[in-house]
Chains A and B, each alone.
Chain A
């Protein structure tokens, strides 16, 4: 009898726990103001407004939930730490993510649209969740991502921008913001503040090696010579550096610019691997030389944080990276030089977008029209002026980026703007088994850099193996 009672009690307790946890979770109000959320992650909409779900982009994130509910807590966090909330367009901005979201919210409200943000992470976890979301047709109105987005467009998972909007973008917006997302003449995504790479150098370290820190280097040979000199002068304390080249997208995005400059490419127009071209072999040879100017293993370390940590701490002198490096280096107290990436003997200026959070509208989005309005605000004047004022990235709107005012006020970022306006591409997506093909390329480059193996043979082998998986 007692046992039966225990069993009955256990059953009741379980059911109660299940129900209470379900109800409690749904009604939970958190400190960060997501109290508007109902069970099932649904957010109560304001009557008369269209609510769109937008995936968070790290650089402008202020939390997850209904946008309007997030401002108060974020403002308090800033004021508690003594950061001023004031912002006047045309002046420096200290609270970039907050101001960005406020502008988005205000502009969209006038169009009867409100925003709920969700955070699906970044990199591989984001790609997996987006893939599952597409399969289940459970996807936000705006998704965000970097290297995976052109692939989604090619697979027909994204909605092309309306023609009128696409024409406006082509005319008024820098190509780096949309060109990598152009498939068969249609635009499928836009980044409000994309980056391309430039060459940066730590003036103090360069000077210690007897090199004029204000002289811009323009050729690969100069880069080779200078990193060697700095490494010798550093005697194990600091090194020449150059570029991050690990077998991951962090590496491909950065040295991809060198591949493009030398006229090489990762894939041909049909999405098949093009690993073993003589141009690629020359670029990998440069990487091998640069590796000698790094602490052992650093250049191909899979953790990109370690590489940029070494830069911030004054352990490497040269670096090819995105525009955020300017502000980060200032924060780290480094005296910085910046110039376009040096060219190979037969090369011409070219670049690869990096740190570009492309925003796209999925085919299965529930509020496509409102989602496109969101993207319009992203390249609108107010947001773009804010991007210009942040001095971390360049604006994509030509009317701001090409203005004399911008050139005078942000000379370094104007260099970046110019690089964005040139020959810019994104990383390609291979026709089949994209991840595997990239891994084969990355492994071949690491082997070329770290061993005495013949570069051309290693690339030939990778090409053959990649063709086996992509065909």
Chain B
């Protein structure tokens, strides 16, 4: 108790107090959009339209309607289906990212073969291509997928566009950045560990999964979190390569609502759009909140500094 009081007294020293006040202020600024989203969620469309919003808008006639739509969906928004799709896609893409990053990282960190550096640099160079540049070529690639979707070899049908294959094949490619991070991290592990395991009779897979993987946990957690966040928030893939409602994810559904709002002549239902955005943001935020320490640990392990 005495120690606690001592600590508290230190915290209240002017220099710490000032720092805390600044941090509190910054924290409030960062949290403000979330608070705003929650309070706006209680507005009806009509009240939102006619109210001049203050810094903290409170509805005069609060309604749960927007939150009910967030959880139950509506006639033209099957929210539960979108939520399920987002979850399946995120889990699947994260699993693949981890697997490919680990295996590719091992190959580039541990194996010796001709052209290794060239291949690695080539793979890294692909990361420099902006995603938007690849949109139309990828669309064509999916549309021309051999013998799929009515294609007579390459043409005649729609390929794998507007099917789950878009997410299964197109989404989870080799995670290059993850492979790079694993390679950096693995290179710090003494090679003697591998040799000792080999002497004990371990094969390559056992070395990867039983010896090296446990040592890569922080970086694997980092890759998992960043991939999960990116996939959860990705609206481009579902929006661009699929059209059917049953394939949509939450961000894509929100983009649809927002683009309907941008269409002249339609009254945008901002409280609903903002509430749905909150529904997209929260799971990602919680994931980040609970696992943020791994992000720091993971990056520290690779020797990359911000």
In whole angstroms, what is the CA distance A70 to B247 when docked?
A: 17
Q: Which residue of B lies closest to A78 (CB)?
A: B75
A355 and B265 in contact (CB under 8 A), knowing A64-B244, A136-B139, A136-B140?
A: yes
Whether B78 pairs with A30 at a CB distance below 8 angstroms is yes
* Contact for B205 among A4, A39, A73, CB less than 8 A: A4
Residue A235, interface by CB 8 Å: no
Whether A61 pairs with B77 at a CB distance below 8 angstroms is no
Whether B265 pairs with A128 at a CB distance below 8 angstroms is no
What 1/0 mask marks residues of chain A from 7 to 25 whose CB sits below 8 Å from any chain B CB?
1001000100110011011
How many chain A residues sit at the interface, stated as a range, is 35 or more
Q: Within 8 Å CB of A146, what residues of B?
A: 264
Residue B162, interface by CB 8 Å: yes
Whether A305 pairs with B261 at a CB distance below 8 angstroms is yes
Residue A41, interface by CB 8 Å: yes
A195 and B75 in contact (CB under 8 A), knowing A37-B245, A129-B240?
A: no
The interface on chain B, measured as residues whose beta carbon lies within 8 A of the other chain's beta carbons, has a size of 62
Whether B264 pairs with A120 at a CB distance below 8 angstroms is no
Whether A3 pairs with B210 at a CB distance below 8 angstroms is yes
Whether A58 pairs with B50 at a CB distance below 8 angstroms is no
In whole angstroms, what is the CA distance A240 to B69 when docked?
A: 38
* Contact for A195 among B206, B262, B264, CB less than 8 A: B264
A313 and B243 in contact (CB under 8 A), knowing A32-B75, A131-B136?
A: no
Q: Which residue of B lies closest to A333 (CB)?
A: B50
Q: Which residue of B lies closest to A76 (CB)?
A: B75
Q: Which residue of B lies closest to A57 (CB)?
A: B263
Q: Within 8 Å CB of B149, what residues of A?
A: 40
* Contact for A28 among B51, B81, B243, B259, CB less than 8 A: B81
Q: Which residue of A lies closest to B246 (CB)?
A: A28
What 1/0 mask marks residues of chain A from 369 to 388 whose CB sits below 8 Å from any chain B CB?
00000000000000000000
Q: What is the CB-to-nearest-CB distance from A200 to chain B, in angstroms, rounded to a whole number?
A: 14
Residue B52, interface by CB 8 Å: yes
In whole angstroms, what is the CA distance A121 to B78 when docked?
A: 17
A331 and B75 in contact (CB under 8 A), knowing A61-B260, A313-B52?
A: no
Which of B266-274, B279-287, B288-296 makes up part of the contact surface? B266-274
Which of B7-15, B33-41, B163-171, B222-230 makes up part of the contact surface? B163-171
Whether B245 pairs with A65 at a CB distance below 8 angstroms is yes
What 1/0 mask marks residues of chain B from 132 to 162 whose CB sits below 8 Å from any chain A CB?
0001100110011000011000010011011
Q: Within 8 Å CB of A193, what residues of B?
A: 265
Whether A315 pairs with B52 at a CB distance below 8 angstroms is yes
Q: Within 8 Å CB of B99, what residues of A?
A: 10
Q: What is the CB-to-nearest-CB distance from B137 to chain A, in angstroms, rounded to a whole number?
A: 9
Q: Which residue of A lies closest to B148 (CB)?
A: A40
Residue A328, interface by CB 8 Å: yes
* Contact for A58 among B81, B88, B260, CB less than 8 A: B260
What 1/0 mask marks residues of chain A from 45 to 72 whose CB sits below 8 Å from any chain B CB?
0000000000001110111110000100
Q: What is the CB-to-nearest-CB distance from B170 to chain A, in angstroms, rounded to a whole number?
A: 12
A32 and B77 in contact (CB under 8 A), knowing A22-B168, A122-B263, A195-B264?
A: yes
Q: Within 8 Å CB of B264, what residues of A?
A: 146, 195, 250, 253, 322, 324, 354-355
Q: Within 8 Å CB of A136, what residues of B?
A: 139-140, 143-144, 159, 161
Interface of A with B (CB < 8 Å)? Answer: 3-4, 6-7, 10, 14, 17-18, 21-22, 24-26, 28-32, 34, 37, 39-41, 57-59, 61-65, 70, 73-74, 76-77, 118-123, 125-126, 128-129, 131-133, 135-138, 146, 193, 195, 250, 253, 304-305, 309, 312-315, 322-324, 328, 331-333, 354-355, 357, 392-393
Q: Which 4 A-B pairs have the closest CB atoms?
A: A63-B76, A355-B264, A41-B162, A58-B263
